[in-house]
Amino acid sequence: SKLMRACRAIWRGALFVATNRDRYLPTEHGPVPGAGAVVAAIEAVTGRNPIVVGKPEPLMLDRALRRMGLDRSEVVVVGDNPETDAEMALRAGVPSVIVWRDPDPRWEARGVRYSRDLRAALKLILEGNVDE
pLDDT of residue 60: 87
The number of CA neighbours under 13 Å toward the Cβ of 12 is: 6
Answer for the pair 131, 96: CB distance below 8 angstroms, yes or no: no
Could you list the beta-strand ranges (E) of 1-132: 17-18, 24-25, 32-33, 51-52, 77-79, 96-99, 113-115
pLDDT in tens, 84-96: 999 999 999 999 9
CA distance 96 to 78: 6
- All structural domains of the chain with their residue ranges: 2-52, 59-126
CA distance 7 to 43: 9
pLDDT in tens, 43-102: 999 999 999 988 888 988 999 999 999 999 999 999 999 999 999 999 999 999 999 888
Query: pTM for this one?
Result: 0.79
Closest of 13, 36, 12 to residue 24, by C-alpha:
36
30 — phi, psi (to 5°)? Answer: 110, 175
Class of CATH domain 59-126: alpha beta
CATH of 2-52, picked from 3.40.50.1000, 3.90.550.10, 3.40.30.10, 3.50.50.60, is 3.40.50.1000
How does residue 26 score in pLDDT terms, banded at 50, 70 and 90? confident
2-52 matches 59-126 in fold: yes
8-state DSSP, 83: I
Closest of 51, 30, 40 to residue 102, by C-alpha:
30
